[in-house]
Amino acid sequence: MRTGRVIGTIWATRRHPSTEGLTLQWVLPESVAGEPDGSAIVAVDTVGAGPGERIFFVTASEAVIAIEEVEEAPIDAAIVGIIENFTLSPGEL
Amino acid sequence: MRTGRVIGTIWATRRHPSTEGLTLQWVLPESVAGEPDGSAIVAVDTVGAGPGERIFFVTASEAVIAIEEVEEAPIDAAIVGIIENFTLSPGEL
Amino acid sequence: MRTGRVIGTIWATRRHPSTEGLTLQWVLPESVAGEPDGSAIVAVDTVGAGPGERIFFVTASEAVIAIEEVEEAPIDAAIVGIIENFTLSPGEL
Amino acid sequence: MRTGRVIGTIWATRRHPSTEGLTLQWVLPESVAGEPDGSAIVAVDTVGAGPGERIFFVTASEAVIAIEEVEEAPIDAAIVGIIENFTLSPGEL
Amino acid sequence: MRTGRVIGTIWATRRHPSTEGLTLQWVLPESVAGEPDGSAIVAVDTVGAGPGERIFFVTASEAVIAIEEVEEAPIDAAIVGIIENFTLSPGEL
């Protein structure tokens, strides 16, 4: 998983039918320090993550596993948790 | 998923038989701001995306799921939605 | 898929048995403009691509699907088409 | 696999149910020389790796295989071993 | 596949049980010219590759297919061939 932040929401009426009803969030991957780190991706939200929340997400085939509404769908990224707290070894931030 | 823009179409008569009849679009990945962000990829279109439209696409094994015409094919990217609108948190653009 | 060019061929007698008889081409990924763009990869040829030809290839688990000779093999890249022609939106090259 | 170091632990009460009870470690990928090399990832620990230990981890669909507690879960990274020792060819460090 | 060179061996007694007995080689990916090109990875050797040998390796789920000793294991990279010889188009080196 990578960590990131929810920075926006995408609306799309013309989309693959299997993805209808799923919320598509724009996620900016971040470093441990919370700085932007990599290209923004579009992920399906499975934990009710709101704008600005620091989350972690899975990519590739694991993403579909997170989504209860569908058996199989062309989705390759899903938000699977919200970071509540974390510890870091001394000197890592 | 990543967001991007359809910038062209590829013709290929010598191609794997399982991909015959599928439209191959050249897609340039983009940042949230709509700037080019990464190497161009070739994706199968599943939503009727036209030149210049801003879309989102899946990669790897999820791509085949999007394509109704085939059960199994050597395809690793598919356009699965057209961005109609989006919201961004303040300061993200 | 990514686009690229066949730049060489690899010979290997000590190789995984399931890959015997398959042609291993060295492929250099390219940008839309045909400039080198990324690290060279080794791909199994499924369409008879020759040296210098501009092709597109799949990666990861989709690659095996392209190869008729094997059911299952440790192969993660395959050439699946030869670019015959393409159109580009104005200003994209 | 890549090598890296455990630099922290993440707490998340709002997370995908299938991942409950699993320890989420923050891992910084490293070069052979032990220097940071790539973006930090979040991995499930399967070998009892502690802070500062040098480990190796798998990514993508292979990660779930490492986790005995679950059959299927939206997890794409797992720590699968702790580096005890290594040899390097002369001139490689 | 990517090409690379075996630069070292990793010892790990604390490792996922399904990987016991497998040789873990440190592989440095290389360009066509044989220059280091990318981050070092840890791969299971399936062809008896020795230190300094120029090899090619698969990544992701294809890697497990290469390993006879196991049905399923958290392994995402495997050496599957040793480069014996290669040809390159003029001007590519």
Structure confidence by residue, pLDDT tens digits, B61-85: 778 888 877 777 889 999 999 999 9
What local confidence, expressed as pLDDT, does residue B66 receive? Answer: 82
With an 8 Å Cβ cutoff, are D12 and A83 in contact? yes
Question: What residues in C contact E78, CB-CB < 8 Å?
Answer: 74
Q: Where do the structural domains in chain C lie, given as residue ranges?
A: 2-69
Distance CA C19, CA A2 (A): 34
Question: E45-93: per-residue pLDDT in tens?
Answer: 999 999 999 999 999 877 888 887 777 788 999 999 999 999 999 887 7
For testing contact with chain D, the best of E15, E24, E70 (most D CBs within 10 A): E15
The backbone torsions φ and ψ at residue D18, rounded to the nearest 5 degrees and listed phi first, read -70, -10
How many Å lie between the alpha carbon of A84 and the closest alpha carbon of chain B?
A: 20
Per-residue pLDDT at A70 exceeds 90: no
C-alpha A86, offset from chain centre: 18
Confidence of residue E27 (pLDDT cuts 50, 70, 90): very high
What local confidence, expressed as pLDDT, does residue A60 receive? Answer: 80
With an 8 Å Cβ cutoff, are C76 and E87 in contact? no
Q: What is the ipTM of this complex?
A: 0.93
Nearest by CB: B84 against A11, A18, A63: A11
Query: What CATH homologous superfamily does C2-69 map to?
Result: EutN/Ccml (2.40.50.220)
Confidence of residue B16 (pLDDT cuts 50, 70, 90): very high
Residues E25-29 have a mean pLDDT of: 97
With an 8 Å Cβ cutoff, are E46 and C13 in contact? no
Question: What residues in D contact E10, CB-CB < 8 Å?
Answer: 3, 56, 81, 83, 85-86
How many Å lie between the alpha carbon of A88 and the closest alpha carbon of chain B?
A: 27
The SS3 call for residue C17 is helix
CATH topology of domain A2-82: OB fold (Dihydrolipoamide Acetyltransferase, E2P) (2.40.50)
Q: Which residue of D has its CA nearest to A49?
A: D14
Nearest by CB: C3 against B18, B42, B73: B42
* Residue type at position A43: A
Nearest by CB: C80 against B16, B39, B52: B16
% chain D with pLDDT above 90: 71
Distance CA C76, CA C63 (A): 5
Question: What residues in A contact B50, CB-CB < 8 Å?
Answer: none
For testing contact with chain E, the best of D2, D3, D62, D69 (most E CBs within 10 A): D62
Distance CA D20, CA D69 (A): 10
Residues C28-56 have a mean pLDDT of: 95
With an 8 Å Cβ cutoff, are D92 and E43 in contact? no
Instruction: Judge contact between B32 and A40, C-beta under 8 A.
Output: yes
With an 8 Å Cβ cutoff, are C42 and E2 in contact? yes
Q: Which residues of A touch B (CB under 8 A)?
A: 6-16, 18-19, 24, 26, 28, 39-43, 51-52, 60-61, 63-64, 72-77
With an 8 Å Cβ cutoff, are C9 and E87 in contact? yes
* Residue type at position B64: V
What local confidence, expressed as pLDDT, does residue D5 receive? Answer: 97
Strand intervals (E) in B33-92: 41-45, 54-59, 77-82, 85-88
Tell me the CATH architecture of domain E2-15+22-82.
Beta Barrel (2.40)
